[in-house]
Amino acid sequence: MKRLIELDFLRGILLLMMVVNHSPSSLRRFTDQPIGFFTTAEAFVFVSAFLAGLLFRKRIDKNGFDAARSSTIHRAGRIYCAHLLTLAFAFLVGSFLLSYLPGLRTLFEQYLRNPPAAIGASMLLAFQPPLLDVLPMYILFSFLTPLVFWSAGKWGWKTVIFGSLFIWLIAQFRVRDLLVTATKDLSYINPGPFDVLAWQFLWVSGLFCGQRLCEKQAALPLPKPLPPILILLALAFFAWRLLTVSTVPLPTNQAWLLDKWHLGPLRLLNFLATGWVLSKALGHLKRWETVLQPFSLIGRNMLPVFSSQIGLSMLLIGIISSSESVEPFSSVLVIGQLITAFLLALFFEWAKQKKRPLIELGKRVGVGAFRRVGVGA
């Protein structure tokens, strides 16, 4: 399948913004909710789901549902392996560098209470230290993707979307918080801040839009009066966000409407409206393919670069928190980390190019062996 350059570029930009957001530096003011009341996390989940839906539909059309399901589960397994490697690095850092980087103690405070239990629970995705809470959600949603497509094939996408919306609505009553409260005394249980009952709606919506694009239909069909309304909504949210940054703080009684972890109603509306507007501009990025190639490389190698950057972010937090000087020291370190993202993407791309001829050679040798066996029989 031909790669979508605009989505690779978008994923690359999102990863770089997430790197900055994970750092205790003043650069965060430029990347934390820059165009509305939503973060890179919402965009990352939706774009990942969009690509997952696009690929799943293509594989169904080409090889059938079973092949698509097998490929998706294999992909989820790869993400899980990346998660385990990231955890292993994190726990090693927490164990051996804590005395040198006391700033890490905040990140690993809960882990240090009972390390063996925390390690076991983290392998079951029941313990998610800070910075390690995005991949578990990605893994869970990837495993659920075949079920979503099976349900859509049986009852239709309209039923699936409304069912997902109903689960999101239930999540707004803080059902998940009851579980978290019930397990607060267990140091090895930490499901992370994201309410998956709410965030699953973004994933299901992304799957729907992705498979629609594969069918060469509008990703999100809208009635004629709705597009200008969405544009006005996006502009209104952007203006409101600028006001909250410069002069007017967000009223406390409105905070739940824009809650990040439970994906509050206004936050969801803000993301969908702004996301639709931005999607109309993405198609024009193809003419800048050469200029944007460094960012596209990061997007093409999202998983290994993301996992590597999580480890670097932990070290950076430990260094900055343990240092007496903050700025401009912290910003210089973050910029250096951003440069490593480009270098890592370049390395992983080179590794893939080197590996591809070996895979093709292995396939040819395998086919030749089978043919010889058939002739001998």
What's the maximum distance between 2 C-alpha atoms anywhere in the chain?
Answer: 82
Q: Which of 241, 245, 233 is nearest to 278 (CA)?
A: 233
Which band of pLDDT confidence, cut at 50, 70 and 90, is reported for residue 342? very high
pLDDT in tens, 242-258: 888 766 555 545 678 99
Report pLDDT for 249: 58
Report pLDDT for 227: 86
Report pLDDT for 377: 36
| Boundaries of every domain in the chain | 5-376
Report pLDDT for 194: 94
pLDDT in tens, 95-130: 788 777 777 887 888 888 888 898 999 999 999 888
Peptide bond into 34 cis (omega under 30): no
Q: Which residue has better confidence, 219 or 376?
A: 219
Report pLDDT for 248: 57
Report pLDDT for 300: 92
3-state helix, strand, coil in the chain (%, to 5): 75, 0, 25
Q: Which residue has better confidence, 316 or 95?
A: 316
pLDDT in tens, 226-243: 888 999 999 999 999 888
Percent of residues, the chain, with pLDDT higher than 90? 54
pLDDT in tens, 203-216: 999 999 999 887 66
Helices vs strands, H then E, count in the chain? 15, 0
What are the DSSP calls for 309-349, one per residue? Answer: HHHHHHHHHHHHHT-S--TTHHHHHHHHHHHHHHHHHHHHH
Report pLDDT for 101: 79
Which band of pLDDT confidence, cut at 50, 70 and 90, is reported for residue 199? very high
Report pLDDT for 49: 95
Q: Which residue has better confidence, 120 or 359?
A: 120
63/102 Cα distance (integer angstroms): 53
pLDDT of 43 higher than 90: yes
Q: How far is CA 127 from the centre of its chain?
A: 18
pLDDT of 41 higher than 90: yes
pLDDT of 259 higher than 60: yes
Which band of pLDDT confidence, cut at 50, 70 and 90, is reported for residue 69? very high
Report pLDDT for 325: 64
Report pLDDT for 354: 80
Report pLDDT for 181: 83
Report pLDDT for 375: 40
pLDDT of 318 higher than 50: yes
pLDDT in tens, 145-157: 999 999 999 999 9
Q: Which residue type occupies 36?
A: G
156/64 Cα distance (integer angstroms): 18
Report pLDDT for 361: 47
224/241 Cα distance (integer angstroms): 27
The whole-chain average pLDDT of the chain stands at: 86
Report pLDDT for 284: 77
pTM exceeding the 0.85 threshold for the entire prediction: yes
Report pLDDT for 370: 40
Report pLDDT for 369: 44
